[in-house]
Structure 1
Amino acid sequence: MTGELFPRERAELAPGAVHVPDWLDPSRQRELVTACRTWARPPAGLRTVHLPGGGTMTARQVCLGRHWYPYGYARTAVDGDGAPVKPMPTWLAELGRAAVRDAYDSASPGGAVTAPGGATAAAPDPAPYDIALINFYDAEAHMGMHRDSDENSTAPVVSLSLGDTCVFRLGNTETRTRPYTDVELRSGDLMVFGGASRLAYHGVPKVHAGTAPPGLGLAGRLNITLRVSGL
């Protein structure tokens, strides 16, 4: 959004949880929307996730690299059409690594970070990202509080937002209830949560329909979540 009284600034919502507004420029957002449309086509395309208790997720999902199902990973769409999962593109994995470097770079564009005692050191290179979960939210969709705990890795989770603005709720590591922090995620925003916040409960209680950038050509919200499986 332009012409705001107070421009949005990057913020650490909790230790290890960083929000970077407008990380993706409009051109890159359009490229990602086009890619998501390709990934969403069958086989192993966009599906409704059925939960063990009998409910369904209101956000629909497609996976790359490995197929997530409640609560594990497989090489095929075991709760869909059974087809092999689409591969994780190298360029998308590299985008995840760049996101982590940018989110945690608190010093200079060269990647230096402040070390104990005031010295500087190179920021650690993030692990290779090998899983992507792409969730599509229509106007009525939401995501309950949950933890991304099915991976054998403590590498940060990378979340990219496209389309409609949402309310993102970042909670704590102990309970689905308070304390939590709500932040508005708009198209192009980046959220990274790792370290002490890697297993924090989080969710999307609300999507604001009709708020996507006009030039994006998307009605609804796409969330691209990148993870390191450790598998």
Structure 2
Amino acid sequence: MNDSRDARISAVAALEEPTRRLLYDHVARQADPVTRDEAAAALEIPRSTAAFHLDKLAEEGLLEVVFERRTGRTGPGAGRPSKLYRRSSEYIGVSLPERRYDLAGSLLATALEDVEASGETPRAALDRRARQFGTDLAAAVDHTSDPTGARALMRLLEEQGFEPRSQRDAIVLGNCPFHTLARQHTDLVCEMNLCLVEGLLSGLGITNLQAHLRPTPDYCCVRLESDA
């Protein structure tokens, strides 16, 4: 499934239609994949209506499609496999403002694994992992048409939920994707944010901006400032 913010919003919005939502709930409750006929019978709706909404749910990544022969017969004459639906194994979450607790959890988990293997301090491991994540994310971006990397930087910051805003000779971040964690563990999470943004700068080869911790009410603790 496309994990972009627009795609996740579209997927959740697909459930606004009442019949579609009922079909999704029905499929999710079943132990085995269901056919169009089974879904239609369960909701007492026409098969064509069930098929339309089931395919829409699959298109949005909320359901997965599988093909099986329910008769148990195989080989010539066994007939075509039936099209069945089951709930997608993908997690789809939308939060406004954007929150990335999944990313924080991944960075923390891998950092703890590193600590056991290397003996470094948990904070050092987390900072290194966050910086590497930012570097890898930026290095994967083709910005040949953007030689300064400025547009790519703003796009990556936006995709990670930071809501970047240009402000004179600096870039401020209007949202912290780890807001609740940052309130509870301020020093740890703010340092992680700083390292992640430093990784983005490094991966894009941007040298005229430096990331600094500048805690300000209603903003992320990181601020990017020109070194000029």
Give TM-score, length-normalised by structure 2: 0.24
Name the one with the larger strand percent: 1
By relative contact order (CA 8 Å, sep 6+), the higher-ranking structure is: 1
Name the one with the larger helix percent: 2
Larger radius of gyration: 2
